[in-house]
Amino acid sequence: MEQFDVIVVGAGPAGNAAAYTLAKGGLNVLQLERGESPGTKNVQGAILYADALEKIIPDFRDSAPLERHVAEQRMWLMDENQSCTGVSYRDARFSQEPFNRYTIIRARFDRWFSEQVKAAGALVVCETTVTGLLRNDTGKVIGVRTEREQGDILAGCVILADGANALVGSRAGLRPEIDGKNMALAVKEVLFLPKETLEARFNIGGKQGVVIEIAGNITHGMAGTGFLYTNKDSIAIGIGCMLTDLKRQQLTPGQLLEGLKQHPAVAPLIDGAEMKEYSAHLIPEGGYKALPQLVGDGWMIVGDSAGFVNAVHREGSNLAMTSGRFAAECLIDLHQAGQNATAANLSGYKQRLDDSFVMADLKKYQHVPDLLNDQPQFLGLYPRLVGDAARQMLVVDGEPKRAKQQRIMAQFRDKRSLLGLLGDAYRFWRAFR
């Protein structure tokens, strides 16, 4: 049986970053993907963070299928069906090369990334689902089992980049099962519009794009957010909520998305657009406290499979690519030193993560998941109060402004006593500091 230096399970951003880096480093790499081609099983908003990819493929801009660079970021607080309070940040520097963030269409981008992986020398085999791991009598992982006939394949190390459900690692007992309380479900549609119409509606030209992140009661009091991203001639619109909330509220994800699409702040933007795909995906949002063990004898976990998502900043693919690169760099070092992939040797991967933004950011926001689970007012009540305050101050009706101001303050105190407000301010500061 042929033995590979490394087997990478999955061809998303983490798996592709790992396989590419390993192949470039001269290792004999097999990458297994269950989709018909890389990208056909993958779902993301999607924003590409150039920095993470640049560190892997510095000249990616020359050939990668990029939709638009992000020229403007809007942040909206929306109620269920009437109002929207928002801020926009447009910066001329966002439209100067090299661009920092791009919208992408993942099925196209992942196919491109995979072509780079193959060109770097890795063997990429699609339509193959990994069903288990092979272990030797000391428990070291020595390969994978696939559903194909005679589908056992050996390797010096296995990198699990199998995505948010993390089936392979948990079924092999390398890590606990993922917990529904740490997972958000996001649903998304891709809506097509003529390029000119789209650019006029979003006040953009050339290759500029707009990103809109949405919070507030549009999620009906559940911990979650919505988004709207502009591609070249399409709009990606989606909404995600924590699974435990969704279960409790008895609202279907499809209804939530429909509510967002019909909201008066959104409906004119997507009017007349043609829906061409409906997708769904889990997002691991448990953060630092939910991370599993990341390495063991003969194995490493990267990307969504490990739970590398910064939910506060809506970042994940950059953490995925960076973790995949770190895992590969650690193995390249070991390979050059003629050392095996023991748990102790693979701790170099963990060290790289600890020394980078990946762990620094996850640690920074480690209390946020608890805050949002226990204190739903941050997502429901406060956005509503802010919206109400804006409406009262903006309606010109002959009432003196001081009276309006006093009533608004009273509404805040009424909904959440003075002590409650102070407590929330403290909890907010503690979670986000």
Partner 1 sequence: MTSAVEFTLPAVNVEEKLFQNRYRIDAGRPHIKVRNADTCTACELKPCTVCCPAGCWRVDTDGGIELVVDGCLECGTCRLVCDEANVDWNYPRGGFGILFKFG
Residues of this chain that interact with partner 1 (CB under 8 A) are 34-36, 39-44, 46, 79-82, 105-108, 110, 126-129, 131, 146-148, 164-165, 167, 178-180, 183, 185, 187, 189-190, 217, 220-221, 234, 236, 243, 246-247, 250-259, 262, 275-282, 376, 380-381, 384, 388
Residue 122, burial from CB neighbour count under 10 angstroms (0-12, 13-18, 19+):
buried
CB of 285 vs partner 1, minimal distance in Å? 13
CB of 217 vs partner 1, minimal distance in Å? 7
| Contact yes or no for 82/219 (Cβ under 8 A) | no
CB of 225 vs partner 1, minimal distance in Å? 16
CB of 278 vs partner 1, minimal distance in Å? 4
- Cβ nearer to partner 1, comparing 162 with 361: 162
Distance between CA atoms of 166 and 176, rounded to whole angstroms? Answer: 10
Residue found under tokens 């101001």: 405
Distance between CA atoms of 50 and 53, rounded to whole angstroms? Answer: 5
- Cβ nearer to partner 1, comparing 275 with 343: 275
Q: Which residues pair with 279 in a beta bridge?
A: 188
Q: What is the 3-state secondary structure (H, E, C) of 261-298?
A: HHCCCCHHHHCCCEEEEEEEEEEECCCHHHCCCCEECC
- DSSP annotation of 89 reads E
CB of 6 vs partner 1, minimal distance in Å? 20
Distance between CA atoms of 325 and 322, rounded to whole angstroms? Answer: 5
Distance between CA atoms of 304 and 306, rounded to whole angstroms? Answer: 5
Token pair of 101, please? 């963030």
> Angle 18-20-26 (CA atoms, 0-180°, nearest 5)?
105
- Cβ nearer to partner 1, comparing 211 with 260: 260
- Cβ nearer to partner 1, comparing 105 with 330: 105
- Cβ nearer to partner 1, comparing 181 with 427: 181
Question: Peptide bond before 46: cis, by omega within 30 degrees of 0?
Answer: yes
CB of 335 vs partner 1, minimal distance in Å? 29
- Cβ nearer to partner 1, comparing 108 with 404: 108
CB of 324 vs partner 1, minimal distance in Å? 18
Give the 3-state secondary structure of residue 160. Answer: strand
- Cβ nearer to partner 1, comparing 81 with 336: 81
CB of 277 vs partner 1, minimal distance in Å? 5
- Cβ nearer to partner 1, comparing 12 with 25: 12
Q: What Å distances lie between residue 80 and 183, 216, 255, 256, CA to CA?
A: 23, 8, 12, 9
CB atoms under 10 Å from CB of 148, counted, come to 14
